[in-house]
Structure 1
Amino acid sequence: MSLSAYLRDNLAAIGVGVLCCLGVAGMLAVLGVGVYATVLVPCFVALCGAVVLGLGYVRRRRFYTELARIVEDLDRTYFASELVEEPGFLEGRLAHEALEAVGKAAADDVAFHRRQAESYRDYIELWIHEIKTPIAAAHLMTADLHGGVASKLKAELDRIESYVEQALYYARSTSLARDYAIRELSLADAVRTACKKNARYLIERGTTPSIEVGDGVTVFADASWLSFALGQVLVNAAKYGATSVRFTVREEGAGTSAARTVLEIADDGPGIPAADVPRVFDRGFTGKNGRAQGSATGMGLYLVATLCEKMGLGVGLASEEGTGTRVMLAFPHDRRRMDDQV
């Protein structure tokens, strides 16, 4: 709160004070008490008024400045009343009480919606686990079927299972609970698992994976989350027409605290328009290629970015129309640094 704003707010009181001083000076002049008394008494009254205004400004400025600073720093502003000391002046106490009431109402509302969201997420997870049973049964029933129709049916079942798994990981990614475990694992095994799990779709689309990752390369991640993320990148590449997907690995920043292993997944697909590249990790963003393809959900790369963030991994994408797309996953070597990011 600035001094000019405070004076403008108290302009009526200042005007009344000036009139009082002039009135006192006029009465003293009429009474003939002398020039000095006529000047000094109104000046003393004006000085007392200025002191009162100054004290009021200091008290209010401290409160409102602290309140503005806390509101600016807080992510959840409804906690502001808990951090601001109750002031000694009436308007401040009323404002503080109002803040407390609003904060309590907001906290109750947030808690209610959080419980609703958690209940809905629990229901979705339960439904996903239940729906896996008939999907597995359908897989068994089609295992002995052969021919073109059978192949198409198996491919559709795989697609259904993929979408169900995507929904499961989305539900888990929005949870506050950590239902994943960061462990040291073989990067080559994670890549092979992702390729094997999506083998039927890759064959159907005519996409060939090339794995150039040594068996001795290990990284810190959750095995199932990493395999799912790699599978999403693979499926995206195959969906948009890539005939080959190449997995390579390199180390960056060796010997420093920022040392990391980078897994690069490069395809020879049509590439992504430059205008779409900055938004490819946004939820629900399909872009020009997705709209042309027709069946894109815009969730695959969003889940990749979300799961990588939760695991403390870096993720990036580079692409140019006509030259393919490269997705990079960065695995920090310093476990303590990664734990700080998770």
Structure 2
Amino acid sequence: MSKTFLMERISWIGMFLFGQCLLLLIAYLDLSIPFQPVLYIVFLSTILFIIFLIIRYHKETAFFKRLHDWESSLDVSGVADAASPFEKIMELALINQTEQLHQSASRQQIALEQEKDELLSWIHEVKTPLTAMHLMISRVENDPMRASLTFEWLRIHHLLDQQLHQLRLPSIENDLYIEKVDIESLLYMELKSLQSWCIQKGMGFDVQLDVTETLSDAKWLAFILRQILTNAVKYSDKPASDIIVRSFVAQERTMIEITDSGRGIAPKDLPRIFDKGFTSTTWHQDSAATGMGLYLAQKAAHTLHIQLTVQSEVGVGSTFTLIFPQPNELLRITGM
């Protein structure tokens, strides 16, 4: 700050030094003017000027130090108490600008909340005809036709469900309810919803549950499992291949492991699969991928303090592992 202050006052300091040097030069050239008294006057005035600079430095830089240390938020209380008229002008401009930003942010927040509420309302409205459509599809006597219609219905249902949870994700902390979750019933409910799709693709599930209970939020855990299981079914193209689902305890932590025999993930894509909007570089032409499922699953897992990892090999398949926190650690984090 001292260097900045000197650079700001360089013209004043230069003018003062120029005046002192000019005075000495005149006293040196004009023999009628005694040089030593002039030199003494220059010395005293220089000392006074230095003291003046030090006083002005502490007085003038206090306001700018607060500006320098001010966090870029919409609170200007930390930069108040302007001393000089110029500082008051700057303070007034900051307050006016901040007030405008406050109003603009409030308007945008209100508009965003209204848009979010309208979209949520629309999703809930669409669910009603979807439910009726599902009942109508179940009455179709042509088995191949019923299977095809069920598959398309399931895709729409999952996309709407994904959009619904995406809207709820920013306020997930307000929606959490940590309890003992029955992994078996939760898992079989998700597998049942994928049954028609699996039958169409000629594949099944091999479920091996050594652990049937864990401490988590049932709704959001079901959402995470739904995204991984849906991807496992979607990208498993090998006939008569089973998706293996295991639950077990390792290193005093409950783990759920989902292994498919699909096309796998390229090593260069593995670090990016949880990024928002990322689909694939190997299968970039796949228009069915949205790049949102794993991103949302990772966001929800992070809030639940679940570590989501993946191992994959192209042409062999992928293994997604959910590593749950220890019960005492989860309770301590969530404050229950």
Do the structures match in fold with TM over 0.5?
yes
Q: 1:283 aligns with which of 247, 266, 276?
A: 276
Matched, 1:299 2:289: no
Moved more, 161-170 or 186-195: 186-195
Question: Structure 1 residues 292 and 22 mapped into 2: Cα distance closer, same or farther (>3 Å)?
Answer: closer
Q: Which runs of 5+ in 1 are unaligned?
A: 72-76, 255-259
Number of matched pairs? 329
Q: Which runs of 5+ in 2 are unaligned?
A: none
Give how far 1:87 is off.
4.3
Question: Structure 1 residues 45 and 105 mapped into 2: Cα distance closer, same or farther (>3 Å)?
Answer: same
**Which residue does the alignment assign to 1:68?**
68
The one-letter code sitting in structure 2 at the alignment partner of 1:11 is I
Alpha-carbon distance in structure 1 between the residues aligned to 2:56 and 2:308: 54
Matched, 1:54 2:54: yes
**Conserved? CA contact 1:273–1:320, under 8 Å:** yes
Alpha-carbon distance in structure 1 between the residues aligned to 2:33 and 2:192: 107
The one-letter code sitting in structure 1 at the alignment partner of 2:246 is T
- SS of the aligned residue for 1:181 comes to coil
Question: Could you report, residue by residue, the CA deviation over 1:79-106 in whole angstroms, capped at 9, with x for unpaired residues?
Answer: 3523335343444444433333333222
**Which residue does the alignment assign to 2:181?**
185
Give how far 1:62 is off.
4.5
Q: 1:200 aligns with which of 196, 208, 211?
A: 196
**Which residue does the alignment assign to 1:171?**
167
Question: Could you report, residue by residue, the CA deviation over 1:95-128 in whole angstroms, capped at 9, with x for unpaired residues?
Answer: 4333333332223222222211111111111111
**Which residue does the alignment assign to 1:237?**
232
**Conserved? CA contact 1:21–1:43, under 8 Å:** no
Alpha-carbon distance in structure 2 between the residues aligned to 1:176 and 1:117: 17
**Conserved? CA contact 1:67–1:80, under 8 Å:** no
Task: Report the identity percentage.
Answer: 25
Question: Structure 1 residues 22 and 337 mapped into 2: Cα distance closer, same or farther (>3 Å)?
Answer: same
Moved more, 304-313 or 23-32: 23-32
Question: Structure 1 residues 204 and 69 mapped into 2: Cα distance closer, same or farther (>3 Å)?
Answer: farther
Alpha-carbon distance in structure 1 between the residues aligned to 2:250 and 2:58: 56
Question: Structure 1 residues 253 and 206 mapped into 2: Cα distance closer, same or farther (>3 Å)?
Answer: same
The one-letter code sitting in structure 1 at the alignment partner of 2:49 is G
Give how far 1:54 is off.
2.3
Alpha-carbon distance in structure 1 between the residues aligned to 2:127 and 2:138: 16
**Which residue does the alignment assign to 1:322?**
315
Alpha-carbon distance in structure 2 between the residues aligned to 1:275 and 1:86: 55
Moved more, 153-162 or 244-253: 244-253
**Conserved? CA contact 2:236–2:260, under 8 Å:** no
Give how far 1:139 is off.
1.4
If the length of structure 1 is used for normalisation, what is the TM-score? Answer: 0.86
Alpha-carbon distance in structure 2 between the residues aligned to 1:128 and 1:306: 21
Alpha-carbon distance in structure 2 between the residues aligned to 1:287 and 1:304: 17
- SS of the aligned residue for 1:312 comes to coil
Alpha-carbon distance in structure 2 between the residues aligned to 1:26 and 1:275: 75
Q: 2:205 aligns with which of 202, 209, 231?
A: 209
Question: Could you report, residue by residue, the CA deviation over 1:35-78 in whole angstroms, capped at 9, with x for unpaired residues?
Answer: 4321121122222222222233334555444443443xxxxx13
If the length of structure 2 is used for normalisation, what is the TM-score? Answer: 0.87
**Which residue does the alignment assign to 2:38?**
38
The one-letter code sitting in structure 1 at the alignment partner of 2:128 is T
Alpha-carbon distance in structure 2 between the residues aligned to 1:221 and 1:17: 73
Matched, 1:116 2:115: no
Question: Structure 1 residues 85 and 320 mapped into 2: Cα distance closer, same or farther (>3 Å)?
Answer: farther
Alpha-carbon distance in structure 1 between the residues aligned to 2:230 and 2:154: 12
**Which residue does the alignment assign to 1:246?**
244
